[in-house]
Amino acid sequence: MPELVNPPRRIVQSGSVDIVVQYGHYVLEAGGERSGADAPSRDGLLFGEAGWLAVVCGSDFVPVPCRVEILKRMPPAVDRRWDMVAEHDLDLAQGVLTVMGSQGHHPHLTLSNTPGVHRIRVHVRNRERALHIADAQPSVDISPVNPEEHLIQLWPVNRARPAETLLGPDSYAVSYLSGSV
Protein backbone atom coordinates (compact mmCIF):
# COMPACT_ATOMS: atom_id res chain seq x y z
CA MET A 1 0.00 0.00 0.00
CA PRO A 2 1.25 3.51 -0.74
CA GLU A 3 2.55 5.47 2.22
CA LEU A 4 1.30 9.06 2.49
CA VAL A 5 3.35 11.18 4.85
CA ASN A 6 2.83 14.35 6.82
CA PRO A 7 4.99 16.75 4.82
CA PRO A 8 7.52 19.36 5.90
CA ARG A 9 6.55 22.91 5.02
CA ARG A 10 7.95 23.13 1.46
CA ILE A 11 6.13 19.92 0.49
CA VAL A 12 2.39 20.17 -0.18
CA GLN A 13 1.86 16.42 -0.34
CA SER A 14 4.00 13.35 -0.81
CA GLY A 15 3.87 9.59 -0.97
CA SER A 16 6.06 6.52 -1.48
CA VAL A 17 5.14 3.38 -3.37
CA ASP A 18 6.59 0.37 -5.19
CA ILE A 19 5.30 0.97 -8.70
CA VAL A 20 4.42 -2.03 -10.85
CA VAL A 21 6.33 -1.50 -14.07
CA GLN A 22 4.81 -2.79 -17.29
CA TYR A 23 6.63 -2.79 -20.63
CA GLY A 24 9.55 -0.99 -19.06
CA HIS A 25 7.69 2.09 -17.88
CA TYR A 26 4.96 3.51 -15.70
CA VAL A 27 2.69 6.50 -16.18
CA LEU A 28 2.02 9.80 -14.41
CA GLU A 29 -1.61 10.37 -15.34
CA ALA A 30 -3.07 13.87 -15.08
CA GLY A 31 -6.35 13.29 -16.88
CA GLY A 32 -5.19 13.73 -20.45
CA GLU A 33 -6.28 11.55 -23.35
CA ARG A 34 -3.65 9.14 -24.67
CA SER A 35 -3.50 9.27 -28.45
CA GLY A 36 -2.08 5.77 -28.84
CA ALA A 37 0.62 7.01 -31.21
CA ASP A 38 3.40 7.33 -28.67
CA ALA A 39 6.43 9.25 -29.75
CA PRO A 40 9.59 7.48 -28.60
CA SER A 41 11.46 9.00 -25.68
CA ARG A 42 13.97 11.60 -26.85
CA ASP A 43 16.02 11.58 -23.66
CA GLY A 44 15.78 7.90 -22.68
CA LEU A 45 13.78 8.73 -19.57
CA LEU A 46 10.49 10.51 -20.37
CA PHE A 47 7.82 10.54 -23.07
CA GLY A 48 4.19 11.56 -23.18
CA GLU A 49 1.66 14.23 -24.06
CA ALA A 50 0.16 17.27 -22.34
CA GLY A 51 -1.89 15.30 -19.80
CA TRP A 52 0.27 12.25 -19.14
CA LEU A 53 3.91 11.38 -18.87
CA ALA A 54 5.66 7.99 -19.00
CA VAL A 55 8.84 7.25 -17.04
CA VAL A 56 11.18 4.69 -18.62
CA CYS A 57 12.62 2.14 -16.18
CA GLY A 58 15.61 -0.18 -16.31
CA SER A 59 13.28 -2.85 -14.95
CA ASP A 60 11.05 -4.41 -17.58
CA PHE A 61 8.33 -5.76 -15.25
CA VAL A 62 9.69 -5.53 -11.70
CA PRO A 63 8.34 -2.97 -9.18
CA VAL A 64 10.42 0.17 -8.69
CA PRO A 65 10.56 2.08 -5.37
CA CYS A 66 9.35 5.60 -6.05
CA ARG A 67 8.73 8.71 -3.98
CA VAL A 68 6.50 11.52 -5.28
CA GLU A 69 6.52 15.04 -3.83
CA ILE A 70 4.30 17.99 -4.74
CA LEU A 71 6.28 21.12 -3.84
CA LYS A 72 5.22 24.72 -3.33
CA ARG A 73 7.91 25.93 -5.69
CA MET A 74 10.97 24.85 -7.69
CA PRO A 75 13.73 23.29 -5.57
CA PRO A 76 16.77 25.58 -5.14
CA ALA A 77 19.24 23.16 -6.74
CA VAL A 78 19.48 19.92 -8.69
CA ASP A 79 20.32 16.97 -6.45
CA ARG A 80 23.45 15.54 -8.07
CA ARG A 81 23.40 12.30 -6.10
CA TRP A 82 21.15 10.82 -8.79
CA ASP A 83 22.30 9.27 -12.09
CA MET A 84 19.92 11.26 -14.26
CA VAL A 85 17.48 14.13 -13.68
CA ALA A 86 15.09 15.45 -16.33
CA GLU A 87 12.16 17.86 -16.39
CA HIS A 88 8.93 17.98 -18.39
CA ASP A 89 5.70 19.98 -18.17
CA LEU A 90 2.45 18.27 -17.20
CA ASP A 91 -1.00 19.83 -17.11
CA LEU A 92 -2.92 18.76 -14.00
CA ALA A 93 -6.24 19.83 -15.51
CA GLN A 94 -8.26 18.58 -12.53
CA GLY A 95 -5.48 19.10 -10.00
CA VAL A 96 -4.94 15.36 -9.61
CA LEU A 97 -1.86 13.26 -10.37
CA THR A 98 -2.14 9.45 -10.43
CA VAL A 99 0.92 7.20 -10.59
CA MET A 100 -0.03 3.98 -12.36
CA GLY A 101 1.14 1.05 -14.44
CA SER A 102 1.29 1.63 -18.17
CA GLN A 103 -1.64 -0.72 -18.83
CA GLY A 104 -4.15 1.08 -16.62
CA HIS A 105 -6.23 -0.59 -13.90
CA HIS A 106 -3.41 -0.34 -11.37
CA PRO A 107 -3.36 3.11 -9.78
CA HIS A 108 -0.69 3.13 -7.09
CA LEU A 109 -0.71 6.61 -5.70
CA THR A 110 -2.94 9.65 -6.13
CA LEU A 111 -1.87 13.17 -5.08
CA SER A 112 -3.65 16.48 -5.53
CA ASN A 113 -2.76 20.15 -5.92
CA THR A 114 -4.21 23.25 -7.55
CA PRO A 115 -5.22 22.62 -11.19
CA GLY A 116 -2.87 23.87 -13.91
CA VAL A 117 0.50 23.30 -15.53
CA HIS A 118 3.17 21.81 -13.30
CA ARG A 119 6.86 21.24 -13.85
CA ILE A 120 7.80 17.59 -13.24
CA ARG A 121 11.39 16.77 -12.21
CA VAL A 122 12.19 13.05 -12.41
CA HIS A 123 15.28 11.64 -10.64
CA VAL A 124 16.48 8.06 -11.29
CA ARG A 125 19.41 5.87 -10.24
CA ASN A 126 20.60 2.31 -10.91
CA ARG A 127 18.53 1.74 -14.04
CA GLU A 128 21.38 -0.13 -15.75
CA ARG A 129 21.83 -2.45 -12.74
CA ALA A 130 18.08 -3.07 -12.55
CA LEU A 131 17.96 -4.10 -16.19
CA HIS A 132 20.23 -7.09 -15.57
CA ILE A 133 19.01 -8.08 -12.10
CA ALA A 134 15.34 -8.00 -13.04
CA ASP A 135 15.79 -9.97 -16.22
CA ALA A 136 17.84 -12.60 -14.42
CA GLN A 137 15.12 -13.12 -11.82
CA PRO A 138 11.70 -13.39 -13.47
CA SER A 139 9.28 -14.45 -10.75
CA VAL A 140 5.56 -14.92 -10.26
CA ASP A 141 5.64 -12.94 -7.04
CA ILE A 142 7.38 -10.12 -8.93
CA SER A 143 9.34 -9.11 -5.85
CA PRO A 144 13.08 -9.48 -6.44
CA VAL A 145 15.20 -6.85 -4.74
CA ASN A 146 15.36 -3.92 -7.13
CA PRO A 147 18.29 -1.51 -6.88
CA GLU A 148 16.51 1.07 -9.07
CA GLU A 149 15.07 4.15 -7.36
CA HIS A 150 12.97 7.07 -8.56
CA LEU A 151 12.11 10.44 -7.04
CA ILE A 152 9.47 12.63 -8.71
CA GLN A 153 8.99 16.25 -7.70
CA LEU A 154 6.47 18.66 -9.19
CA TRP A 155 5.44 22.23 -8.58
CA PRO A 156 3.03 24.68 -10.24
CA VAL A 157 4.40 27.02 -12.94
CA ASN A 158 3.03 30.07 -14.74
CA ARG A 159 4.43 29.34 -18.18
CA ALA A 160 5.28 26.27 -20.23
CA ARG A 161 8.91 25.32 -20.84
CA PRO A 162 10.53 22.73 -23.10
CA ALA A 163 11.66 19.40 -21.70
CA GLU A 164 15.20 19.49 -20.34
CA THR A 165 17.85 17.08 -19.06
CA LEU A 166 19.42 18.57 -15.93
CA LEU A 167 21.81 15.74 -15.06
CA GLY A 168 23.01 12.83 -17.16
CA PRO A 169 22.03 11.05 -19.36
CA ASP A 170 22.74 7.90 -17.37
CA SER A 171 24.24 4.82 -19.01
CA TYR A 172 20.80 3.26 -19.44
CA ALA A 173 19.52 6.26 -21.39
CA VAL A 174 22.55 6.11 -23.67
CA SER A 175 21.89 2.41 -24.33
CA TYR A 176 18.14 3.01 -24.77
CA LEU A 177 18.64 5.76 -27.31
CA SER A 178 21.24 3.78 -29.26
CA GLY A 179 18.96 0.74 -29.38
CA SER A 180 21.48 -1.51 -27.63
CA VAL A 181 19.00 -2.49 -24.91
- Residue 176 CA to residue 108 CA, distance in Å, equals 26
Eight-state DSSP code of residue 50: T
β-sheet bridge partners, residue 4 = 15
Residues between 140 and 159 that touch other proteins (CB under 8 A): 140-142
Residue 35 found at the interface with other proteins (CB under 8 A): yes
Phi/psi-derived region of residue 165, left when phi > 0, alpha when psi is between -120 and 50, beta in every other case: beta
Q: Which helix (H) or strand (E) holds 131?
A: helix 127-136
Helix (H/G/I), strand (E/B), else coil: 113: coil
Residue 124 found at the interface with other proteins (CB under 8 A): no
Helix (H/G/I), strand (E/B), else coil: 107: strand
Residue 1 found at the interface with other proteins (CB under 8 A): no
Q: Which is nearer to other proteins, 34 or 67 (CB)?
A: 34
- Residue 93 CA to residue 116 CA, distance in Å, equals 5
Q: Which is nearer to other proteins, 49 or 149 (CB)?
A: 49
Of positions 15, 17, 19, 25, contacts other proteins by CB under 8 A: 25
35 burial (CB, 10 Å; 0-12 / 13-18 / 19+) is exposed
Residue 131 found at the interface with other proteins (CB under 8 A): yes
Of positions 17, 28, 30, 56, contacts other proteins by CB under 8 A: 56
Residue 181 found at the interface with other proteins (CB under 8 A): yes
Q: Which is nearer to other proteins, 116 or 138 (CB)?
A: 138
Instruction: From 7-15, 85-93, 98-106, 150-158, give the range in contact with other proteins by CB under 8 A.
Output: 98-106
Q: How many residues bind other proteins (CB under 8 A)?
A: 39
- Residue 150 CA to residue 93 CA, distance in Å, equals 24
Residue ranges binding other proteins (CB under 8 A): 20, 22-25, 27, 33-41, 47, 54, 56, 60-61, 101-106, 131-132, 135, 138-142, 175-177, 179, 181
